[in-house]
Chains A and B, each alone.
Chain A
Amino acid sequence: MDCNILGNTHLYFDGAMGTVLQNRGLKLGEVPEMFNITHSEVIEEIHRSYLLAGSNFISTNTFGANRYKLEHTDYTVEEMIMKAVGIAKKAKEDFPNAYIALDIGSTGKMLEPVGDITFDELYDVFKEQVIAGEKAGCDVILFETFTDIYELKAGILAAKENTKLPIFATMSFEENGRTFFGTSIESMILTLEGLGVDALGVNCSLGPKQLKSIVEKIVQTAHIPVMVQPNAGLPIMEEGKMHYDITSNEFAEYGLEFAKMGVLILGGCCGTTPDYIAKMVEQVKTSTYIKPNIPKRTGICSASQAVYFDDTVVIGERLNPTGKKMLQAALRREDMDYVLREAIKQQEQGAHVLDVNMGLPDIDEVSMLKRAVMEVQGVINLPLQIDSSNTEALEKACRIYNGKPLINSVNGKASSLEAILPIAKKYGACILGLTLDERGIPETAEERLEVAKKIVNAALEIGIAKENIFIDCLVVTASAQQELVKETLKAVRLVKEELGVKTVLGVSNVSFGLPNRPIINKTMLTAALMQGLDAPIMNPGDTGMMEAIAAFRVLMGKDVNSKNYIEKYSNVETTEVKTAQNGGRMSIEEAIRKGLKEEAREEVNILLESKSALEIIEKHIVPALDEVGKLYEAQKIFLPQLIKSAESAKSAFERLQKEMVADANNNEKTSKTKVILATVYGDIHDIGKNIVKVIMENYNFEVVDLGKDVPTEKVIEAIEKWDIKIVGLSALMTTTVASMKETIEAIRKNFNDVKVIVGGAVLTEELAQYVEADFYANDAMETVRIATDLVENQK
């Protein structure tokens, strides 16, 4: 199909297939694609009637022709698609100008970390479909009824990398303007435009009436052709039969309205019939297509949230191990919970975007960056800036990123431009260019502008739009190169004025080596904002800098009526009074017993003035925890109180760890026993395991947490890698006890000195014997006791 046909005149898709088939005898729950085999004449007739009604495109009966849904039929994906396309070809014999769209619906599977399917697996599923579709002779690929932009991204990459066919992609929204998965309209558009689809839009879920505001928003945001396929209204169940509440005449009226708004491609979904399409075509033909003129904007997004750089954007810098000892230590022990806590904290502190950098010389950056991006995007709504100097790490992370990322960074060196720009182009990312090249960082602002020009031109040349380019004019330290600080500031202004692209600066570098850094940082930030800085990369926990931004936005008229400023700062005094009232002291033992996090941390601060970290642990925290454990076992306190105490002890330990990381000698003295905890393969419920983790960490164990749905090989690898002697496995459902047994068998085969403790809702002493575990633990404390005994015996 020649994509030039998109954009001149309205085009028409067909209407429903599924609901029409139901009226022709398809039973609920049956595989609709089987009609291609058993009732091919019915399918052909439906296609032909849509063509007669005026459809330019017919969609093959292959919505669920993927390997999951065809699993229980006798047909392969390729066979089914060949058959379906064959029927469509036959139907359009008398309509030489019509096109065949390979219809691909969502697989009904959920991706990790919410579900249990990997991005790569889903890519393969779609790959199979699109290759078969192209081979069979389809003209275009239609991805439709998607609710997860992440799944849709896997499909689009599969189509782009394995076929030459144009791609149309539509998602289903609820009235609140989000999909079931929370994908927003802006996120859909930013992501799909970035990936380079040929048309995008909305289908199914609602009738045209409810879709009106959604369609309006899409048309006013998208820069590429928009496609809409509504249902025939809302479903009504009557006597076990489904009806829809809008007539074909009403449907046609709405079609005309959408066409006038600027929708290019129109069709129907559930409940529509050839009659609906015929009437709509007749109506819409009376109008001419006028392409909406939508201004270009710089934006990136997560699946649920878009950030546009029209106003000052704070990029959180805390997920970068450079100069951060605690994060370095966490990454070396692969403690993703620490990374996630830092991410959540920055979100709460008001960051708009998070920079993610996992570059440490002694860790595998490629896999670590990918993992960090996956985990962070699983819990945080903010878009990410993917930060690495390793091309492979950037590529892999961009591939599995759920949304449109910002890549940090490319620079003026030919080798960098060649390697990085194609990644940004392919994955539809924004790109951040550093003003340095083969000669290093140029001294003058004018030279930096030259490098910036080179980067912008190279990006434009390979097809990256100007609004997707950022420039970082590079901050130097005032203590070492004082006279160059003002060159940076001047360069920001020049880049804004001459190139008109967005600018970024890692502001706090400027104060390195000087006392009272916050004052310098805040002043530098204000100065840079005045030169036109769009997005500082900074610590959102730096109150002074956040205040400077809030004030700047008031003074520049961006914070209209100072609304945000007043909201944020009018209560400052009262909170200060509150903290002052909390002056009462309690011992650390008492704080832990009562489960008071802040008090425990505060007490540690005071104790640290006179005692070593080790002493505090041995003399204060361990006895307090022992007491709590005993109270729990005697049923004097209950699980919630046990966990609360554990959390307060954890906060004390975290404070102490800062001291211990600073003093490397301590590491040997405090070496903890490493244990693995995992929820077995096939099981996605892991809160019980995570409770065990929190408790164990307080009793001198270092937990290697493999997460949920953990394949056997991963457990074996981890035992080997960390030299583990104790493994804890959990299963919630009867059906996953089998995979617990398999995992334990594999452990036995590979190691003869590893002890396995099992637990979880369905486990019993008997089942533990059946799976051949060494121990059954009824709860978290029992796990600790068993593991502690094991450690004692080993000694």
Chain B
Amino acid sequence: MTHIMLKDALRYIGMPMEQANKEIIRKVEEAYELIEHIAKPKAISHKLNISLNGDEVIFENTALKVESSDLARLLRNAKSCYIMAVTLGQEVDRQIGIKQRLDMLDAMILDSCASVFIDKVCDEHEQELMKSLKEGEFFTMRFSPGYGNVPLKAQRPFLNVLQTEKKIGLTLTRTNMLVPTKSITAIVGISNQKEKRQKSCGTCNLVKTCSYRKRGDSCGL
């Protein structure tokens, strides 16, 4: 467990770092150990050429089109992109379910650690893809359906293109939520210039309600 992983987990469970006692830290540690043991991280990605038609992003040779000014702006300097999906698999969800029946604190910690963990898996996959960049190519910020004005309903065609159900066991509910829940879908543009990669609260849908912001913090993404 790295320091950042501990910090992120504590933030998710609403525990200020300086207040965290040994016992909480040990519980976080144990949760990460359990996740290492039960998670079956899987990732899939495709490199696709893209073109823009106003605010519509067209992913060439696929059935995928996304209407979103935020996404179009993100990809304005990009001719291609990676779309990707990562998941920790079902067993993590099941264990979070079991823990909820036995002890809510353990459950909340496991849930939070799993969220940190899947972000890490996604970061690592992105790092891996970054190696394929040629000179003069740069990644844009990573974006997901539901960010900014990228509609959540883009999840379905997105998953279809990646065949996530068959390849990594990732599916959607009828309301476009990912199952297993500890999963991420994302798109990252390949730009011809250096891009700002840090996310900001300005592009976040939760900016008004965010409990991290209320206490002067940020979610860390």
Question: A residues within 8 Å of B by Cβ?
Answer: 27-30, 106, 108-110, 113-117, 145, 147, 172, 179-182, 204-205, 237, 240, 337, 340-341, 344, 378-379, 595, 597, 638-640, 643-644, 646-647, 682-685, 687, 690-691, 694, 709, 733-736, 761-764, 778
* Chain B 153-197 interface residues, beta-carbon cutoff 8 Å to A: 157, 160-161, 163, 165-166, 168-169, 171-177, 179-181
A340–B101 CB distance below 8 A: yes
* Chain B 138-158 interface residues, beta-carbon cutoff 8 Å to A: 146, 152, 157
CB distance from A363 to the nearest CB of B (A): 21
CB distance from B63 to the nearest CB of A (A): 4
Closest residue to A343 on the B side, CB-wise? B101
A30–B63 CB distance below 8 A: yes
- Cα A783 to Cα B191 with chains together (Å): 48
Chief secondary structure at chain B's binding surface: mixed
A240–B19 CB distance below 8 A: no
B175–A683 CB distance below 8 A: yes
- In which size bucket is the chain B interface? 35 or more
Instruction: Give the residues in chain A near B104, CB-CB below 8 Å.
Output: 643, 646-647, 690-691, 694
- Cα A711 to Cα B218 with chains together (Å): 34
- Cα A145 to Cα B94 with chains together (Å): 23
Instruction: Give the residues in chain B near A147, CB-CB below 8 Å.
Output: 169
A736–B175 CB distance below 8 A: yes
Known: A28-B62, A114-B94, A735-B176. 15 other contacts (CB 8 A): A28-B160, A29-B63, A29-B160, A108-B171, A115-B179, A116-B179, A205-B166, A240-B48, A240-B49, A341-B102, A640-B24, A640-B109, A734-B152, A735-B152, A778-B211
CB distance from A494 to the nearest CB of B (A): 42
- Cα A116 to Cα B179 with chains together (Å): 10
CB distance from B12 to the nearest CB of A (A): 10
* Chain B 182-221 interface residues, beta-carbon cutoff 8 Å to A: 205-206, 208-209, 211
Instruction: Give the residues in chain A near B98, CB-CB below 8 Å.
Output: 344, 379
A685–B101 CB distance below 8 A: no
Instruction: Give the residues in chain B near A764, CB-CB below 8 Å.
Output: 208-209
Top 6 A-B residue pairs of the complex, sorted by shortest distance between their CB atoms: A180-B169, A682-B175, A29-B161, A29-B63, A639-B14, A28-B62
B169–A181 CB distance below 8 A: yes
5 sampled A-B residue pairs with Cβ under 8 A: A110-B171, A114-B94, A237-B47, A735-B152, A762-B206
Closest residue to B169 on the A side, CB-wise? A180
CB distance from A69 to the nearest CB of B (A): 9
> Of B49, B64, B90, B181, which contacts A180 at CB under 8 A?
B90
A640–B175 CB distance below 8 A: no
- Cα A736 to Cα B64 with chains together (Å): 24
CB distance from A321 to the nearest CB of B (A): 19
B137 at the interface (CB under 8 A from A): no
B34 at the interface (CB under 8 A from A): no
Instruction: Give the residues in chain A near B19, CB-CB below 8 Å.
Output: 638
CB distance from B176 to the nearest CB of A (A): 7
- Cα A147 to Cα B98 with chains together (Å): 22
Instruction: Give the residues in chain A near B62, CB-CB below 8 Å.
Output: 27-30
A379–B171 CB distance below 8 A: no
B15–A638 CB distance below 8 A: yes
Instruction: Give the residues in chain A near B102, CB-CB below 8 Å.
Output: 341, 344
Known contacts A147-B169, A180-B168, A181-B169; is-contact A28 B177 (Cβ 8 Å):
no
B56 at the interface (CB under 8 A from A): no
> Of B64, B101, B177, which contacts A683 at CB under 8 A?
B177
A761–B206 CB distance below 8 A: yes
Instruction: Give the residues in chain A near B64, CB-CB below 8 Å.
Output: 28-29
- Cα A749 to Cα B215 with chains together (Å): 39
B14–A28 CB distance below 8 A: no
> Of B46, B109, B165, which contacts A28 at CB under 8 A?
B46
> Of A182, A341, A778, which contacts B90 at CB under 8 A?
A182
Instruction: Give the residues in chain A near B51, CB-CB below 8 Å.
Output: none
B13 at the interface (CB under 8 A from A): yes
- Cα A108 to Cα B172 with chains together (Å): 8
A110–B173 CB distance below 8 A: yes
- Cα A691 to Cα B166 with chains together (Å): 34
Q: Residue among B103, B104, B161, B172 with the most chain A CB within 10 A?
A: B104
Instruction: Give the residues in chain A near B174, CB-CB below 8 Å.
Output: 116-117, 682
Closest residue to A25 on the B side, CB-wise? B61
Known contacts A240-B46, A733-B175, A762-B209; is-contact A27 B100 (Cβ 8 Å):
no
CB distance from A679 to the nearest CB of B (A): 11
Instruction: Give the residues in chain B near A778, CB-CB below 8 Å.
Output: 211
Known contacts A108-B171, A735-B176, A764-B208; is-contact A182 B108 (Cβ 8 Å):
no
Instruction: Give the residues in chain B near A761, CB-CB below 8 Å.
Output: 206, 209
- Cα A597 to Cα B23 with chains together (Å): 14
- Cα A764 to Cα B177 with chains together (Å): 21
B74 at the interface (CB under 8 A from A): no
What 0/1 pattern do residues 1 to 29 of B give for CB contact below 8 A with A?
00000000000011110010000100000
- Cα A733 to Cα B89 with chains together (Å): 21
> Of A204, A337, A639, A709, which contacts B101 at CB under 8 A?
A337
- Cα A646 to Cα B91 with chains together (Å): 27
- Cα A782 to Cα B107 with chains together (Å): 21
Q: Residue among A27, A116, A180, A684 with the most chain B CB within 10 A?
A: A180
B63–A182 CB distance below 8 A: no
Instruction: Give the residues in chain A near B169, CB-CB below 8 Å.
Output: 147, 179-181
CB distance from A336 to the nearest CB of B (A): 9
B96–A687 CB distance below 8 A: yes
Known contacts A30-B63, A691-B108; is-contact A378 B171 (Cβ 8 Å):
no
Closest residue to A760 on the B side, CB-wise? B209
A690–B175 CB distance below 8 A: no
> Of A114, A179, A378, which contacts B179 at CB under 8 A?
A114
CB distance from B150 to the nearest CB of A (A): 12
